[in-house]
Structure 1
Amino acid sequence: MASDDSEQNPYTRPGFVAAAIVVALVVVLAAVLSYRAVAEPDDPDPTTAPTSSDPTATAAPTESPSAQGGESVCGLEPVELDGTLTAAPDTEWELVGTTAAPSVEDHGPGEVEEDGFRYCFAQTPTGALLAAANVAAMGSDPGLSPKVAEHLFAEGVGRDVALSETPTGNAGGGVRVQIAGFRLLDYSGESATVDIAMRGSNGAIAGQVFDLVWEDGDWKVQLAPDGQLPTDVVVLPDLAGYLLWAGA
């Protein structure tokens, strides 16, 4: 249970902690909630991380995009309507804000703007993984938060709430995080569930699950009606069960 001081201090509540770290929309939760957990590794009651999907499954590529969501917004050609990942992809990493963001040839990001905003990910298991990881990485750059909310959150009430929020607080926390591993929990051509593990500069590890939907030719993060991610961040004792994947 949180202390009385924590309960009374608004800057210890989820939204304010998040905003203080990214100085941006409180619901850029991809990095926001992960940062909160890494900064608070002594949470007395962390929830249990979800169970991974069957690691023996293999990806099944097809040549035709799904009927819903359209073809890739930037023309990426690979399309896989089911499958999983049993190993980390061959990845290049580039610093965005303070976090290394991944890219994989032919799977995304297909577009990287001058300010570092990254979008367009293939309709593949690898593309879904990259979408979640890039949203997390972009959360460390406050200037990208409005673009992330506008272009990489799925249509719905949650996105509307995200867009209505205003930046709150100042940058702080002192903890920087880097992607450390992943689990692809579920995948179809229309949706995906990706668990990203992040390691803080203080050594703490946190996991955040991202629900994605294929929408308007790209992977978008699905938010709950309150504008936050549907699942809570969890503090992890180690990276057991995750595929190791890191650029820094």
Structure 2
Amino acid sequence: MAWFSGRNSPDDDASTTDPAFGWESRGFIASAIVVGAVVVCVVVWLVAGGGGNNPTAQPPASPDTVEPTEQPTSQPTGPPATPGEPTTRPTPPPVNTGTGGCKNKTPDLRIPRAAPPAVSWQFETDMLIPLQAQGGPASTDATGLRSCFAHSPTGAVLAAMVTLGQIRNPDLTESVLRSRIAPGVGRTRALSEVRSSPTPRNSGETSQFTGFKVIDYLPDRAIVSIAVRLDAQKVASLPVTLLWSGGDWKLVLQPDGSFNGEVAPDVLQSLEGYVRFGGA
């Protein structure tokens, strides 16, 4: 099963009149393999149709009725929230800490099979991102850029979600590319693209994180699949590669400046195999 792509298949004819597919015109998808489009819609993740208006496609199961197989939580890890209103439980970790995140000397190195505990979900523009005192982020600079994640599988999951959420904030996009993305050809191209085409503010439907799966983990590299709820019926997954570099997890961009290159997006039929993890 493929993961992501900037290319359309013959069945990828999502209606441009459907609000849930406002970003999915053929022109947009054709340009989505370059970083300008990826940065704009990094959490929409180029879901070109996914069978939504294809009469022969089977409708995907609702994420609200499907339980993962790996010790799921029965409810999201934070209280329901409305964009613009901060969550209140549990107490958020401090903005900067000398013991958590990348400063944690004894992180839990087990692959997480259940949602990380004691997580506070906070809004980054219109998307909820997870904060945990133990796993990170343990550092926030004056602009709001978050960093310093635990050198562990859970730390990699948190780093992926927080970075993907913050890169959508037009006030932070360039800072995220400079500080939270691993150096390479992809980052160089991304920085060039975002300078010439600044990230617009999102005014459409808001996607939210809903789960994760650690695909592979080594001390210097992690591959995490992040599940995102696009609407009440659709969940898409994005594989993210991270490198442990400079004492923190950094996300990797492909040479074309995108996260996925030419790999097709995966619209999930269920959350089977994923750990349910989301703030809304």
Q: TM tier, shorter chain? A: 0.7 to 0.9
Q: Verify the 8 A CA contact 1:175 1:202 in the aligned structure 2.
A: no
Structure 1 stretch displaced more, 216-225 or 81-90: 81-90
Counterpart Cα distance in 2 of 1:163 and 1:122: 26
Structure 1 residue 120 and structure 2 residue 137: aligned?
no
Conserved? CA contact 2:139–2:146, under 8 Å:
yes
142-151 vs 223-232, which deviates more?
A: 223-232
Q: Is 1:223–2:232 an aligned residue pair?
A: no
Give the strand-richer structure, 1 or 2. 1
Please state whether the residue corresponding to 1:194 is helix, strand or coil. strand
1:134 aligns with 2:162: yes
User: Which residue of the other structure, out of 6, 9, 13, is the alignment partner of 2:30?
Assistant: 13
Q: SS where residue 193 of structure 1 aligns?
A: strand
- Of 258, 265, 269, the residue aligned with 1:237 is 269
What are the superposed Cα offsets for residues 172-221 of structure 1, whole Å, 9 maximum, x if unpaired?
57220111011011112111011110112454211101000000111011
Match of 1:32 in 2: 41
For residues 141 and 8 of structure 1, the distance between their equivalents in structure 2, rounded to whole angstroms, comes to 22
Partner of 1:86: 113
More displaced 10-residue stretch of structure 1: 100-109 or 199-208: 199-208
The counterpart of 2:205, out of the listed 172, 175, 180, is 175
RMSD of the TM alignment (CA)?
A: 3.4
Closer, same or farther in 2 for the Cα pair 1:162/1:202, shift >3 Å? same
Cα distance between partner residues in 1 of 2:251 and 2:243: 7
Using structure 2 for the length normalisation, give the TM-score: 0.66
Alpha-carbon shift at residue 112 of structure 1 (Å): 2.2
SS in structure 1 at match of 2:173: helix
Compared with structure 1, are the counterparts of its residues 13 and 78 closer, same or farther at alpha carbon in structure 2 (3 Å cutoff)?
A: farther
Structure 2: distance between partners of 1:203 and 1:239? 12
Alignment of 1:49-198 (within 5 A): 76-79=103-106, 83-90=110-117, 91-166=119-194, 167=197, 170-171=200-201, 174-198=204-228
Give the aligned residue type for 2:134: D
Distance 1:134 1:153 in 2: 12
**Pairs aligned (count):** 215
TM-score, normalization by structure 1 = 0.73
Indicate the larger mover: 107-116 or 80-89: 80-89
- Distance in 1 between residues matched to 2:175 and 2:182, nearest whole Å: 13
**Structure 2: distance between partners of 1:204 and 1:215:** 34
Following the alignment from structure 2 to structure 1, what is the Cα–Cα distance between the partners of residues 210 and 126? Answer: 14
Q: Residue 169 and residue 140 in structure 1: after superposition, are their counterparts in 2 closer, same or farther (change >3 A)?
A: closer
What is the CA deviation profile of residues 27-59 of structure 1, one whole-angstrom value per residue up to 9, with x for unaligned ones? 43xx834314458443779xxxxxxxxx79xxx
Name the residue aligned to 2:243: 213
**Residue aligned with 1:87, SS:** coil
Aligned to 2:94: none
Q: Identity of paired residues, percent?
A: 30
Secondary structure of the equivalent of 2:204? coil
3-state SS of paired residue (2:41): helix
Q: Name the structure where helix makes up a greater proportion of residues.
A: 1
Q: Which residue of 2 aligns with 1:48?
A: none
**In structure 1, how many angstroms separate the alpha carbons of the residues matched to 2:175 and 2:49?**
27
When structure 1 is superposed on structure 2, of 149-158 and 232-241 the one drifting more is 232-241
Task: Give the conservation status (yes or no) of the 8 Å contact 1:154–1:222.
Answer: yes
SS of alignment partner, residue 162 of structure 2: helix
Residue pair 2:136, 2:148 contacting (<8 A) in 1 also: yes
Residue 143 of structure 1 aligns to a residue whose secondary structure is coil
Give the letter for the 2:227 counterpart. A
